[in-house]
Structures are given as C-alpha cells and as structure tokens.
C-alpha cells in the first residue's frame, strides 16, 4: 500500500495546518468552513484509494503486451474459442465474421464470430528460423516445428549466407583463359571493405576466379569497388575455366556468384545496396 491515511487523518492534518494558511480562523464544529474541510478530506481519501490500486492494476495489465491475458477465475464468464478451418483460396476475413461449429445432439451449429481481421492464404509453412542480426547468424527450427516438437530459439546458430548469383548463357559460358567484368553502381556503399569470393560452376563444384591483385594488372583479377565501398568494376580472370550450366532456384543457365566470405559488419550502414548492371557484363575469351 502506497498511502495508509484515511479521511479522519486528513481532516486532523488540515485542521493543524489551517492556522498557517488562514491565521485567526478556527472552523466551528457545525459551521460551513468545517464542512468544506470534511469534504476535501473525503476527496483525499478517495484519491489515495485509487492510487493504492494502481500497482495491482499495472500488474494485471503487464502480461497484455506479450499476448497473455489474466484468467477471469472460476465461475466468471469467458469467451469460447474454436480453431477455424482455412477457406479455399487467398483472401481476408473481416472481424465479426460468423463461423459455425457442429455440436453433437443439437440441430443447429454453435455460431462464433472472428475477433479480428484474418488473412487467409493457401501457402504452407515452409521453414521456421530465428535470426540474430548482431551476429549475422540464424538457427533453423523447421524440422522440429514441422514435427510439432519443442525447440530452443537461436540454437544452434550458423552464419547467414550472403550470395549474389548472376546468369548469362553467352558471357558466362567460359572456356580456357577468360575474363569477366561486372560493373557496380552502389546506392549505399559499404563503410568497410567486404571480403567477397567470386566463383563459377564447373559441373561439379563452385571454383574460384583468380585472387584479386592490389593493382589493375592485365590478365589479373581486380576489384575496382574495394570490397563494395565504392562504385566500380570488378574484373574476374581465370586461366583454364570451363563452366557448365546449372540450376539456381529452379532457373537453368550459366551462372557465376559472389559469396560473402565473412559475417556482415554490425553497423547497418555497412550493408551495401544497389547491384550490378547486366548490360555491363563482358566476357573476353582468349584463344
């Protein structure tokens, strides 16, 4: 309890202090002045009662933001709920829509109403993951979730893959000594250089292009973007490449990819945006 004072205590305190605010005035026992003091003391008692109830009210309301509601207790009315079967097709069911549930022994169904708008979709749950952005990692709980088994969030963590796939059935059909150039125009460059591995598919594994050289030397791979910290051209060189078509997300063709070989920096500003322009890809085969 925050304050244990009652009306009589407030009255006595005000009568003791009245001389400090109105010297010479003594409220008569049955006078109008004393009646006003009594009324004010009663108002103070009511105010203290409400203040003393605030902690309990806040305690009951606290679980609300996380989706928990207090039990109304035995004998108290509570709304009935039933799971509603998904309707065919995609759409939206507005709040207050009626749904019926058959009840054994009754000729008519028991009617319920939806509490809120419901979005309906034919899509099935494909995967369940938890993501930890600060560590650039995630945990896959799909197997446990689909099997209706318990799982622990963010465990076990694994690095989030960051890959950019580029496809062209002419320019990326590499053979022998080859060179590919990709031009980037970045809307938001990275704040620190990113370590990116460039690779091509040889029919069995993703193989790396030649390592980047610090200077733009002919016949050597060169990163003009300095790890995507600025717009520029990335030149990819190989001495004896032979690419093969493969499928990426169901799309067949000749592909190369850029794979981030490190976790993303913690700063959101370090994530580059923008992308390569396919009309700037160039392949110069050497015979």
Q: Are residues 203 and 225 in the same domain?
A: yes
Q: What is the pLDDT of residue 287?
A: 34
The answer to the question of residue 264 being in a domain is: yes
Query: Of the residues 118, 142, 159, which one is the last residue of a structural domain?
Result: 159
DSSP letter for each residue of 84-144: PPPPSSSEEE-TT-EEEE--TT-SSPEEEE-SS-EEE--PPP---EEEEGGGTEEEE-HHH
Q: Are residues 138 and 220 in the same domain?
A: no
Q: Are residues 192 and 142 in the same domain?
A: no
Q: Are residues 138 and 223 in the same domain?
A: no
Q: What is the pLDDT of residue 271?
A: 46
Q: What is the pLDDT of residue 66?
A: 61
Spell out the per-residue pLDDT of the chain, length 287, in tens.
Answer: 788 889 999 988 888 888 888 888 888 888 888 898 899 999 999 999 999 988 888 877 777 666 566 666 666 666 666 666 655 667 788 888 888 878 888 888 888 888 888 887 777 788 999 999 888 999 999 999 989 899 999 999 999 999 999 999 999 999 999 999 999 999 999 999 999 999 999 999 999 999 998 877 778 999 999 999 999 999 999 998 899 999 999 999 999 999 999 888 776 544 444 444 433 344 444 43
38: exposed, middle or buried (C-beta count within 10 Å: 0-12, 13-18, 19+)? middle
Query: Of the residues 111, 143, 159, which one is the last residue of a structural domain?
Result: 159
The answer to the question of residue 222 being in a domain is: yes
Q: Are residues 142 and 226 in the same domain?
A: no
Q: What is the pLDDT of residue 65?
A: 66
The answer to the question of residue 245 being in a domain is: yes
Q: What is the pLDDT of residue 277?
A: 44
Q: Which residues have C-beta within 8 Å of that of residue 252, sequence separation ≥ 6?
A: 245, 246
Query: Of the residues 141, 159, 177, which one is the last residue of a structural domain?
Result: 159
Q: Are residues 181 and 224 in the same domain?
A: yes
The answer to the question of residue 46 being in a domain is: yes
Q: Are residues 145 and 46 in the same domain?
A: no
- Residue 222, Cβ neighbours under 10 Å: how many? 21
The answer to the question of residue 146 being in a domain is: yes
Q: Are residues 150 and 214 in the same domain?
A: no
The answer to the question of residue 12 being in a domain is: yes
The answer to the question of residue 11 being in a domain is: yes
Cβ 224 vs Cβ 236: under 8 Å: no
Q: How many domains does the chain have?
A: 3
Q: How far apart are the first and last CA of the chain?
A: 90
CA–CA dist 174, 168 (Å, integer): 11
The answer to the question of residue 279 being in a domain is: yes
Q: Are residues 229 and 201 in the same domain?
A: yes
Beta-bridge partner residues of 182: 234
3 state SS of 70: coil
Alpha helices per DSSP H over 142-192: 142-146
Q: Where are the beta strands (DSSP E) in 125-281?
A: 129-132, 137-140, 158-159, 163-167, 175-186, 196-201, 206-208, 222-223, 232-242, 246-248, 251-253, 255-260, 274-276
Cβ 222 vs Cβ 234: under 8 Å: yes
Q: What is the pLDDT of residue 215?
A: 76
Domain enclosing residue 197, as ranges: 163-283
Q: What is the pLDDT of residue 70?
A: 60
Q: What is the pLDDT of residue 67?
A: 59
Q: Are residues 141 and 195 in the same domain?
A: no
Q: Are residues 138 and 196 in the same domain?
A: no
Q: What is the pLDDT of residue 84?
A: 62
Q: Are residues 198 and 261 in the same domain?
A: yes
Q: What is the pLDDT of residue 138?
A: 94
- Residue 167, Cβ neighbours under 10 Å: how many? 18
């Amino acid at each position: 309890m925050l304050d244990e004072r009652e009306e009589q205590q407030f009255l006595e305190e005000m009568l003791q202090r009245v001389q400090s605010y109105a010297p010479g005035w003594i409220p008569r026992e049955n006078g109008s002045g004393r009646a006003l003091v009594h009324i004010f003391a009663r108002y103070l008692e009511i105010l203290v009662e409400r203040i003393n109830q605030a902690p309990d009210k806040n305690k009951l309301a606290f679980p609300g933001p996380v989706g928990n509601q207090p039990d109304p207790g035995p004998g108290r009315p509570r709304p009935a709920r039933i799971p509603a079967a998904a309707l065919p097709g995609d759409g939206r069911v507005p709040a207050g829509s009626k749904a019926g549930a058959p009840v054994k022994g009754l000729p008519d169904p028991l009617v319920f109403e939806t509490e809120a708008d419901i979005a309906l979709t034919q899509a099935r749950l494909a995967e369940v993951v938890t993501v930890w952005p600060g560590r650039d990692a995630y945990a896959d709980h799909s197997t446990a979730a689909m099997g209706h088994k318990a799982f622990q969030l963010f465990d076990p963590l694994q690095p989030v893959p960051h890959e950019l796939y580029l496809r062209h059935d002419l320019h990326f059909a590499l053979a022998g000594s080859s060179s590919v150039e990709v031009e980037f125009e970045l809307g938001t460059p990275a704040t620190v250089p990113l370590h990116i591995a460039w690779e091509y598919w040889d029919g069995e594994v993703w193989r790396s292009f030649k390592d980047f050289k610090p200077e733009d030397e002919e016949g050597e791979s060169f990163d003009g973007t300095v790890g995507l910290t600025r717009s520029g051209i990335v030149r990819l060189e190989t001495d004896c490449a032979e690419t093969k078509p493969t499928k990426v997300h169901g799309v067949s063709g000749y592909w190369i990819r850029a794979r981030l070989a490190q976790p993303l920096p913690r700063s959101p500003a370090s994530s580059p945006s923008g992308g390569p322009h396919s009309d700037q890809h160039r392949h110069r085969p050497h015979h």
